[in-house]
């Protein structure tokens, strides 16, 4: 299993950040690996909402179905699944203890299945780079929400 975690500060208040990030179709704007992310259902985004995500990481394309599995006042948990991997993304958003805005912690757990497990050591290196890029992109996009 590969785990990548980043914690960073942004200008918008937690409610604004959570409202934006709970809609995983927005990953097209902040996740550098996401090629497309389309919601499978309609209506308000609630626990159980799903998205079809196509990503390309390290030159390899993959498709996962993501489900919003937890949504609370400070935490979003999205789980993506396919035959070769399960990706659990936990995003925690709290008031910035150093002042205005929010502190965001983004943690991704990627568990490869079957023969794909052999790639785990390489995936750690690849996902660390993706983690850096995700932090940069997410910070830029979220700060735009502050106006």
Three-state SS across 21-80? HCCHHHHHHHCCCEEEEEECCCCCCCCCCEEEEEEEECCEEEEEEEEEEEECCCEEEEEE
What is the set of domains in the chain, with CATH numbers? 2-144 (3.30.530.20)
pLDDT at 130: 59
Task: Give pLDDT tens digits for 60-100.
Answer: 788 999 999 999 999 999 999 999 889 999 999 999 999 89
What is the pTM for the complete model shown?
0.87
**Each residue of 98-139: pLDDT tens digit?**
989 999 999 989 887 764 454 555 555 555 555 567 888 899
Residue pair 106/89 in contact (Cβ under 8 Å)? The answer is yes
């Amino acid at each position: 299993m590969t785990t990548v975690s980043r914690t960073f500060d942004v200008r918008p208040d937690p409610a604004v950040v959570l409202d934006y990030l709970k809609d995983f179709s927005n990953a097209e704007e902040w996740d550098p690996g996401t090629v497309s992310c389309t919601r499978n259902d309609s209506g308000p985004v609630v626990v159980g909402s799903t998205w079809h995500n196509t990503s390309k990481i390290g030159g390899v394309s993959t498709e996962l179905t993501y489900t919003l599995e937890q949504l609370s006042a400070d935490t979003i948990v999205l789980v993506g699944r396919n035959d070769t991997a399960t990706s659990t993304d936990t995003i925690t958003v709290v008031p910035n203890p150093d002042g205005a805005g929010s502190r965001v912690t983004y943690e991704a757990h990627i568990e490869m299945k079957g023969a794909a497990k052999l790639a785990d050591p390489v995936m750690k290196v690849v996902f660390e780079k993706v983690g850096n890029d995700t932090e940069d992109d997410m910070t830029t996009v979220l700060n735009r929400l502050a106006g």
